[in-house]
Amino acid sequence: MIDNIILAMRASPNWAQLAQDYAAGRTIDPSRYMPANNPRFPTEIPELIARWNKYSNVSFFACRHRLREIAAENLAAVDGVTVTKWTEVPRLMDQLAGTRALLFYHDDDDWFSPAMASLIRGVDIDTVDAVVFPFARLAASVLTFTRDGTPTNDAIGRCAPFRFRYCTNNYGLTARALATGPQALVEHEDASARAEKLGFVDVDLDILVSATSKTPCSAGWLRDELRDDEASFRGYVGRYLSALKALEVPAHLGWIDTPLRKTIELFESVAA
C-alpha cells in the first residue's frame, strides 16, 4: 500500500525569463541554462542553440518554455500526488517518515497519467527499493521501453529494452532507497548505477503511468542531428511531426492526447 506519491522536478532553467531576454535582444550567459558539473551534457549546446534560433520560427528558449508549460498543465491534472522540487525531497521525506511514500523524479517536460495514484496506490512497497513501469518516449521514433523489450498492452509505438535500469520518470523510489542518499538518485543514469552497486530490489508493473516528450530541441537531438542547413532542420522537424500525427494512442491511455496535441501545435509553429 502507498500512502504518499511525490513528483519531484529536477533542476530546470528559468525558460520564461530566458525567452523574454532573448526576445529583447539581451545577451544570455550559458551558465543560465547549462547544468553544472554534468559531464554527460553536450558542451557545444550554446553554439547549437544559436543554430536553432537561425532556422526556427520559435526561439529555442521560447520553445523550451512552452514545453515546460505543457508539462505543468499535465502535472496540474494529476490527482492525489504531492508536486515539489528535487531540492525539497530530504525535508519532505523527513515529514513523511513512517509512511509508505513513493517518489518519482522527473524533468520539466515529462508527463504523468492523471490517474496514476489510483492505478498504483495498492502496490506493496514494504520490501522493495523501486517500482518500475513501462516508459513511453514520444520522438521521431516512438518507443515504449520495457524490461527486456517485453511486449505490453500499454505500448505506444514499438517496444524496446530499457537502455538503463531506470528511465527519466518511470521509476518510483521508496523511503528505503532514498535512505541511501537522495542526491545520488535524482538523475536516472546515476540512480541506475547506484541501484546496481547497492543491489536495489525492484518490482516491475505492467502499467504505463509516465511518458517523456523527446523533441527536436532536446539536448541529445541538438548534439546528434542539428545540421547547419535550413532544409535539414525543417526536414527533421517534419519527420518528427509526421511520427506524432500518425501515432495511435490506446483508448485507455487517452491522457496522453492533450499534451501530445499541444506539442504538435508547438512544432508546427516552429517549422511553419
**CA pair distance 2, 205, nearest whole angstrom:** 14
In sequence order, what DSSP letters do the residues of 157-220 get, joined into one string? Answer: SEEEE-SSSS-TT-EEEEHHHHTT-GGGGSSHHHHHHHHHHHT--EEE-S---EEEE--TTSHH
The answer to whether position 70 is within a domain reads: yes
Give the mean pLDDT of 59-72: 98
Which stretch of 28-37, 121-130, 239-248 has the lowest confidence by average pLDDT?
28-37
Domain enclosing residue 76, as ranges: 1-132+168-272
**CA pair distance 106, 117, nearest whole angstrom:** 16
pTM: 0.95
**CA pair distance 72, 76, nearest whole angstrom:** 6
**CA pair distance 112, 128, nearest whole angstrom:** 22
The answer to whether position 140 is within a domain reads: no
What single letter denotes the amino acid at residue 87?
T
Q: Are 44 and 139 in contact (CB under 8 A)?
A: no
Q: What is the pLDDT of residue 38?
A: 73
pLDDT, the chain, mean:
95
Give the mean pLDDT of 147-156: 91
Q: What is the pLDDT of residue 118?
A: 96
Q: How confident is the model at residue 125 (pLDDT cuts 50, 70, 90)?
A: very high
Q: Does residue 39 surpass a pLDDT of 90?
A: no
The answer to whether position 157 is within a domain reads: no
Give the mean pLDDT of 191-207: 97
What single letter denotes the amino acid at residue 121?
R
Q: What is the pLDDT of residue 35?
A: 85
Element (H, E) at 129: none
Q: What is the pLDDT of residue 42?
A: 83
The answer to whether position 244 is within a domain reads: yes
| Nearest to 58, CA basis, from 237, 267, 215 | 267
Helix (H, G, I), strand (E, B) or coil at 35: coil
Cell numbers describing residue 215: 523533441
Q: What is the pLDDT of residue 41?
A: 82
- Characterise 148 by phi-psi region: left (phi > 0), alpha (psi -120 to 50), beta (else): left
Give exposure, 219-239, as e/b (b: 16+ Cβ within 10 Å). bebbeeebeeeeeebeebbee
The answer to whether position 139 is within a domain reads: no
Nearest 10 degrees: Cα torsion 206, 212, 215, 218:
-120
- Percent of the chain past pLDDT 70, that is, above it, reads 100
Cell numbers describing residue 212: 517523456
The answer to whether position 151 is within a domain reads: no
Give the mean pLDDT of 24-45: 88
The answer to whether position 152 is within a domain reads: no
Q: What is the pLDDT of residue 148?
A: 92
Q: What is the pLDDT of residue 15?
A: 98
Task: For the chain, report the end-to-end CA distance as a whole number of angstroms.
Answer: 49
**CA pair distance 246, 166, nearest whole angstrom:** 28
Instruction: Name the H helices within the chain.
Output: 15-23, 45-55, 60-76, 89-95, 116-120, 175-178, 188-198, 219-225, 230-245, 257-270
The count of residues in the chain is: 272
The answer to whether position 150 is within a domain reads: no
Q: What is the pLDDT of residue 5?
A: 98
Q: Does residue 227 surpass a pLDDT of 80?
A: yes
Q: How confident is the model at residue 272 (pLDDT cuts 50, 70, 90)?
A: confident
Q: Does residue 27 surpass a pLDDT of 90?
A: yes
Q: Within a 13 Å sphere around the CA of 75, how many CA atoms are in the beta-carbon half?
A: 24
- Domains: count for the chain: 1
